Structures are given as structure tokens and as C-alpha cells.
Chains A and B, each alone.
Chain A
């Protein structure tokens, strides 16, 4: 499982706009580079990142080879209720990783 870093505030006021930051370790090999033997290095990227908040999708990113290695995203959402954020990354060669974070809304 790839290493992930997820930053979600532990507490928030109801209706507050909170910032979420995520990072995942992944080479994001573009498929356009030539290796030692002169052959193209096959593409190996993350193609999709989805964040759900209490099972409702709040953010989705469709990635391309032009995203830097170790994809990093900052985005925002409204803290509506206490619950769980689920994060899922999927990509080439059956790559799949997930993470979660809890939030308390007062």
C-alpha cells in the first residue's frame, strides 16, 4: 500500500469551509520517458482520485501523466456534520489505495 498523508481538521464549526490536503507516494511514470535500453518506460500513473464525505462525493480529480510524482491535492469542503472522509486513489496496473479521516462538527 502506498504511503498517504491526509490532512483534515479534527474539529470544525457547522457550515465552516475546511481545507483538505492529501498526498500519496506514487512515481507517476508518464510513459514518454526512455529508459536505459532505449525503450519507452511504460506508463504507470494514478488516473482517479475521489474524496467522499459520509459516502457523498465532494471532490473528484481525473489525473493525466502531467501530474507530478507523489500527487498532491488541496481542496475545500463545507463541514456539514460529524463523520468520515474517505479518500480513494486508483490507477494503472490495478493500483488502488485508500485512506480516511474523521471530523467532529460542532
Chain B
């Protein structure tokens, strides 16, 4: 593509023309490139509706803990706990996690049962932007409960290009 190959000694003129070409190329690419559609609040609502169906989602019972500010969106620690006795009669069936601004609204679904003993899970996720996270818990009695958390991300993940 370019006569400037890495590792080769380059003159100042070669470097400047090379970088100008690169910049022009990058500018063109950004005009042409079709960005993957980001998950919008509507997409988030749609994704939640797909899981929940006709049921109403009430807020409460669920605790979603994330750091309020993360430097690196590539690994964001996340813990979700649900206030439930986790017995055969009353337990958490599933926990769903959604986001607002990643390319896809859906993050994770975990399936639990009375054998879990405790409705608490932890994992690490990627976030493309500062946004609102939503955790929805599906209980054995068919009700849905949710919690949200705002998070500020300084370095985005997911859609950054390999440089």
C-alpha cells in the first residue's frame, strides 16, 4: 500500500508524505465505513421486552454493583445479587444483564436454581461507552425485578479498531 514500511529508515519528506496519505485514507475510511448500529434505549427496551414478555418489571430486590468510574471499558467488574431465600418454592431462575450503548443491548444471561444457595454472581464485561446498565432477575413465581447502575467509562471497548 505504502512505500514506507516499518523498520526502514525514512527521511523526513517520506515520513510527512506517508503520514499525509495515511490521514487522507483514514478520513475517507471514516466517511465510507458503516458503523455497526449501536444499541439505543429503544433497542434496550426491546431486548428487555423479549426476555420479560408481558410481565411488568418492578425495581427492587436486585443489587447491581459496578464501579462508578472505570478507566478501561475492556474489563469492567460486575456483581449482581438478588434478595431471595433460594429455596425450592422461591428462587431466582435467571439473571439477565443489558446495556444501553454497546453494539448489542444484550450482555449476559445466567440460569440459577435452588441449588445455588445464594443468588450472587460476578463476572467481567466490556463497555463501549459511559452508560446505564440494567440487571433483570426472573423469579420462580414469574415476577421480574430490576436494578440499574450508571457507569462512566474513559477508554471504550468493543468497537475500537486494532492499531
Contacts and interface: CB of A to CB of B under 8 A. Distances in A.
A55 interface: no
Contacts of A34: 33, 161-162
Given A32-B103, A62-B108, A74-B122, A68 B162 contact: no
Contacts of A35: 161-162
Nearest to B160: A33
Contacts of B158: 30, 32-33, 65-66
Interface in B53-80: 74-76, 79
Contacts, number: 113
Interface stretch (B13-21, B112-120, B135-143, B146-154): B112-120
Given A68-B74, A68-B124, A76-B116, A59 B162 contact: no
Contact of B159 (A33, A61, A75): A33
Interface residues of B, number: 37
Contact of B103 (A30, A41, A68): A30
Given A30-B158, A32-B159, A72-B124, A66 B117 contact: no
Interface in B29-55: 29, 33, 36
A72 B76 CA distance: 11
A30 B34 CA distance: 17
The number of chain A residues touching the other chain, given as a range, is 35 or more
A61 B107 contact: no
A61 B29 CA distance: 37
Interface of B: 29, 33, 36, 74-76, 79, 99, 102-104, 106-113, 115-118, 120-127, 157-162
Interface of A: 17-18, 28, 30, 32-36, 38, 41, 53, 56-69, 71-78, 80
Among all A-B residue pairs, the 10 with the closest Cβ atoms: A17-B117, A74-B122, A78-B117, A68-B124, A60-B111, A76-B118, A62-B109, A34-B161, A68-B75, A66-B107
18 contacts: A33-B160, A35-B162, A36-B162, A58-B113, A59-B111, A61-B111, A62-B110, A65-B103, A66-B99, A67-B107, A67-B124, A68-B75, A68-B124, A68-B126, A69-B75, A71-B123, A74-B123, A75-B121
